[in-house]
Amino acid sequence: MSNWHIGVLGGSGLYEGIALEDQQQIEVSSPFGEPSGPVTTGRVGGVKVTFMARHGAGHRVPPSGVNYRANVDVMKRCGVTDLLAISAIGSLREEMAPGQMVAVDQFIDRTSGRPSSFFGEGMVAHAGLADPVCARFAALAADAVEAAKGTVHRGGTYVAIEGPQFSTRAESRMYREWGGDVIGMTAMPEARLAREAELPYALLGMVTDYDSWRDAEAGVEAHDIMATLAANADLARATLAALLAALPEEREASPVDTAMEYALITAPEARDPVLMAKLDAVAGRLLG
């Protein structure tokens, strides 16, 4: 058995059509509340894989309602070593066309009101997030898109908006001026929490539209996004299968595995035992 255990956050149909051995669906609870749903776990060859539908069965949870803390905590409890997010995104750049994929490497966070840390009063921690994506894992994911005969852009800045509405034209133009390349509603605080949980994180965004910055065209609509996603579902599944097949036989340590080594600030005698208990999976390596 490989020592890789890949966690996947995406649509509920991602693992359909993949030869998942020893498949089982299990409920995993989290002290941070209810996750989006159960996980589906199994093996592809010697690689263990755990899937979760970010928006729940039937896409019932809106972006602002996703319990990102619980989802990441559950992945950590399942023993995941690396976390792959697959998401629909809008493009803010002409060259990033619908049907193509982007291996995101930076974020601009415009979300609000979403709990963005596992830590807080009674256990303060400051995670480094200058490079929020694991370069090694993102490169492997991008390689997999190409192996699946897709077009991938290596690197791009993802603007995370609160939603659920899409951007106005003025906002879309502003995000382009800021240096944004793509736009979506789910990568934050997901990427922040993955770093706090010491999970190497990569995000493959599937471009579904050009947002609203192209004035000569109609703005983005949900039915257009769903049509593009449906047309490219096979590429997403083929990419995932290619990634799992191409992983090195042995997983070497990633710098993210110990990213929180010096991030905990609160003195041991001042730490809140209740919060400490909730952090047993996320920070157990540091608190145990």
Interatomic CA distance for residues 82 and 199, integer angstroms: 5
Q: Which residue has the tokens 């966070």?
A: 109
Active site residue 211: yes
CA distances from 13 to 16, 110, 151, 175, 179 (A): 5, 28, 21, 31, 32
* Active-site residue identified among 22, 131, 211, 215: 211
pTM of the model: 0.94
- How would DSSP label each residue in 211-236? TT--TTSPPP-HHHHHHHHHHTHHHH
One digit per residue, the tens of pLDDT, for the chain of length 288 reads: 689 999 999 876 666 767 789 999 999 999 999 999 999 999 998 899 999 999 998 889 999 999 999 999 999 999 999 999 999 999 999 999 999 999 999 999 999 999 999 999 999 999 999 999 999 999 999 999 999 999 999 999 999 999 999 999 999 999 999 999 999 999 999 999 999 999 999 999 999 999 989 887 776 667 777 777 666 788 998 999 999 999 999 999 999 999 999 999 999 999 999 999 999 999 999 997
* Active-site residue identified among 209, 215, 234, 280: 209
> For domain 86-287, which architecture applies?
3-Layer(aba) Sandwich (3.40)
Give the pair of three-digit tokens for residue 147: 């192996």
Active site residue 234: no
Buried b (16+ CB within 10 A) or exposed e, 247-280: beeebeebebbebbeebbebeeeebeeebbebbe
Interatomic CA distance for residues 113 and 82, integer angstroms: 27
H or E element in which residue 140 lies: helix 135-147
